[in-house]
Structure 1
């Protein structure tokens, strides 16, 4: 199969028939074999009934229905599990992403050598205050922290090599950082394509401003797991040693002053309590590193690594 299209959705019953017809037309024009996985993330409207109706008309339309709302990351993760295509395309269900972009996104993966191609909505129809400015700040911060240089990290229209989506797991709000997660898993050929952004035709946006707060917290999680997920002692141990050493040196200096000069009472100097605090924090961080190592070494996936290829000429 050439292409799997993953469409996470919530309360988009009005747009689904038009989207399904549009995708089908593009696939037929380009002679692609395809499937569309519509993932209903706890809709309260008639979205699931519409998906069932569309599947009855077109066998390429398939559906997953969550019992409640779990979020876009969960919807994408389940769609990735089910996808069988050589190239996986993700897009939103609100018709703001154009299926006409699919052929070029597909070709950039198949012939361009990319692992991921992310859409860039260079011209947007969103509110500048509510979305554009926070998105620019978010993209700038993510680029500086992760080293993945994309103008529109959160664009829902992306294409992936099959191996990428089968090698990663997304949860929480981490769908925004799939390129970052993929990079930490060794997929470094990440490209970008300017795509059309269309004004919303039906309904209203399902995302609030809290997604930016959650997004930055998830970015911190990804950066930590990517660098120290299998070696937490390298982070906590280093920080713990640094804090404890600072506190110990301060305490040593105060002890020297007390023993040889007896100018000040140690416990009456604020720096004494700073030294105690630094040593306590350092000890706690060091212990956190030990506990993290114990948890990591007993984890089932502690020795799971992504192997690109194996060469054995004796077989």
Structure 2
């Protein structure tokens, strides 16, 4: 068995050497081989130089340098595509995830689970209303919508069997929803408490704007989970309902004209009828267009959501 540790890096120069030494120390006596893949996501500090320095000392530390900042999801995606391990473990590179928890995740995988998600403990001390409560609400909302109950979707530290995560479409902020994707494919998922360490260097790259992006991506994955293969069932349902309402609206206007002598221009029903019929036709056309796009989606494309400027210590081609 081989383990691949995936580190998305963005302006973390101050923590990288300490993180590498901690990982190396925790896995020194591990009964398996491992590799570390660091993805430099367009850092503007000295992260690139620090990563290259570490990589020059060992071939098990591999580096991907992006041309620009593509975001954490793209970085994790690149790490997954270039990993050769049987078990993949993404984790933050800011020392907030404890490297000592990696072995706990691997142990759970070896017990028969396909996905093991970390649940950070002690993260919100003194910030109940401003941080912890919104986090609880968000995680419960995501759990309810996806049907996969986890306490901490935002924890990067997770472990995946390679065959479960391979081929998962990742874009936007969707790396945090990988457990949901895996569950829809029949994966066995569990969650374990992991340690949380306050950031020692630099500043957090998370903000309110990311929260809004996550919520928008949540809407997308809910749609994809139910209607990815048959979007016409979604758009066509709205279209059919709109056409039916338009029919009843037109019938009501006609009955008022025949039996109550109410002229069409004296009631909004004719205008409502036209609007509903037009909306119904539009939804059905959108459904047809979505069906065409789905077929295009399923065709082999091979286009990545990121661009790599350079690679270090990658002697093997990506495992497919």
Indicate whether the TM-score tops 0.5.
Answer: yes
Q: 2-side partners of 1:175 and 1:87: how far apart? A: 16
Cα RMSD after superposing both structures: 1.7
Q: CA deviation at 1:122?
A: 3.1
Q: 1-side partners of 2:131 and 2:86: how far apart? A: 33
Q: 1-side partners of 2:212 and 2:130: how far apart? A: 14
Q: 1-side partners of 2:112 and 2:104: how far apart? A: 13
Q: CA deviation at 1:294?
A: 2.5
Q: What corresponds to 1:91 in structure 2? A: 91
Q: What corresponds to 1:221 in structure 2? A: 220
Specify which of 260, 271, 277 is matched with residue 279 of structure 1.
277
Which consecutive unaligned segments of at least 5 residues does structure 2 have?
301-320
Measured against aligned partners, the alpha-carbon deviations of 1:204-258 in whole angstroms (never above 9, x if no partner) come to: 1011101111111111111212221221111111110011101111111211221
Q: 2-side partners of 1:60 and 1:12: how far apart? A: 20
Q: What corresponds to 1:147 in structure 2? A: 147
Q: How many residues align?
A: 299
Q: CA deviation at 1:129?
A: 5.1
Q: 1-side partners of 2:297 and 2:147: how far apart? A: 29
Q: Does the 8 Å CA contact 2:7/2:38 hold for their aligned counterparts?
A: yes
Q: What corresponds to 1:170 in structure 2? A: 170
Q: 1-side partners of 2:96 and 2:143: how far apart? A: 24
Q: CA deviation at 1:125?
A: 4.5
Q: What corresponds to 2:318 in structure 1? A: none
| Change over 3 Å in CA distance of 1:100–1:27 after alignment to 2 | same
Measured against aligned partners, the alpha-carbon deviations of 1:175-197 in whole angstroms (never above 9, x if no partner) come to: 1211122223x133111001111
Normalised to the residue count of structure 1, the TM-score between the two structures is 0.90
Q: Does the 8 Å CA contact 1:97/1:196 hold for their aligned counterparts?
A: yes
Q: Which has the higher contact order (CA 8 A, sep 6+)?
A: 2
Q: CA deviation at 1:2?
A: 2.0
Which consecutive unaligned segments of at least 5 residues does structure 1 have?
303-315
Q: What corresponds to 2:120 in structure 1? A: 121
Q: What corresponds to 1:32 in structure 2? A: 32
| Change over 3 Å in CA distance of 1:50–1:79 after alignment to 2 | same
Q: CA deviation at 1:22?
A: 0.6
Q: Does the 8 Å CA contact 1:92/1:157 hold for their aligned counterparts?
A: yes
Normalised to the residue count of structure 2, the TM-score between the two structures is 0.89
Q: 1-side partners of 2:134 and 2:177: how far apart? A: 16
| Residue aligned with 1:37, SS | strand
Q: What corresponds to 2:4 in structure 1? A: 4
- Answer yes or no: is 1:60 the counterpart of 2:27: no
Q: CA deviation at 1:298?
A: 4.3
- Answer yes or no: is 1:260 the counterpart of 2:265: no
Q: Does the 8 Å CA contact 1:34/1:85 hold for their aligned counterparts?
A: yes
